[in-house]
Amino acid sequence: MDYTTLIPVMRELAILAGEKIMEIYEADDFDVKVKSDDSPVTAADEAADALISAGLRAAFPDVMLVTEEQSDSHKAKGDTFLIVDPLDGTKEFIHRRGDFTVNIAYVQNGVPQRGVVYAPARNRMFFTQENGQAVEETGMFDPKKVGTITPINVADSDNAALFVVASKSHRDQATDDYINKYNVKDMKSAGSSLKFCLVATGEADIYPRVGRTMEWDTAAGHAVLLGAGGQVVRFDDHSPLVYGKEDFANPFFIAYAPKVDLKEA
148, amino acid identity: T
Burial string for 154-163 (b: 16+ CB within 10 Å, else e) reads bbebeeeebb
Q: Which residues contact 177 (CB under 8 A, 6 or more apart)?
A: none
| Residue 85 marked in a binding site | yes
Q: What is the pLDDT of residues 117-173, one digit of tens each?
A: 999 999 999 999 999 999 999 999 999 999 999 999 999 999 999 999 998 766 789
Among residues 164, 165, 163, the alpha carbon closest in space to that of 99 is found at 165
**Is residue 55 a contact partner of residue 1, using CB atoms and an 8 Å limit?**
no
What per-residue confidence (pLDDT) applies to 38?
63
| Residue 88 marked in a binding site | yes
CA distances from 152 to 52, 57, 132, 189 (A): 26, 30, 11, 20
**Is residue 45 a contact partner of residue 59, using CB atoms and an 8 Å limit?**
no
How far separated are the first and last CA of the chain, in Å rounded?
37
For residue 258, how many other CB atoms are within 10 A of its CB? 12
Q: Which domains does the chain have, with CATH numbers?
A: 3-151 (3.30.540.10), 162-256 (3.40.190.80)
Q: What is the pLDDT of residues 4-20, one digit of tens each?
A: 999 999 999 999 999 99
| Residue 262 marked in a binding site | no
Handedness of CA 25, 125, 98, 170 (dihedral sign): positive
What per-residue confidence (pLDDT) applies to 230?
98
| Residue 82 marked in a binding site | no
Q: Which residues contact 124 (CB under 8 A, 6 or more apart)?
A: 118, 136, 194, 197
For 72, counting Cβ atoms within 10 Å of its Cβ (0-12 exposed, 13-18 middle, 19+ buried), the class is: exposed
Percentages helix, strand, coil for the chain, rounded to the nearest 5? 30, 30, 40
Q: Tell me how far apart the alpha carbons of residues 133 and 6 are, in angstroms, rounded to a whole number.
A: 14
Give the pTM: 0.95
> What parts of the chain have a pLDDT lower than 70?
36-38, 40, 71-73, 169-170
| Residue 215 marked in a binding site | no
| Residue 5 marked in a binding site | no
**Is residue 163 a contact partner of residue 203, using CB atoms and an 8 Å limit?**
yes
CA distances from 206 to 42, 53, 115, 134 (A): 31, 32, 20, 17
| Residue 79 marked in a binding site | no
Give residue 81's Cα distance to chain centre.
16
**Is residue 228 a contact partner of residue 153, using CB atoms and an 8 Å limit?**
yes
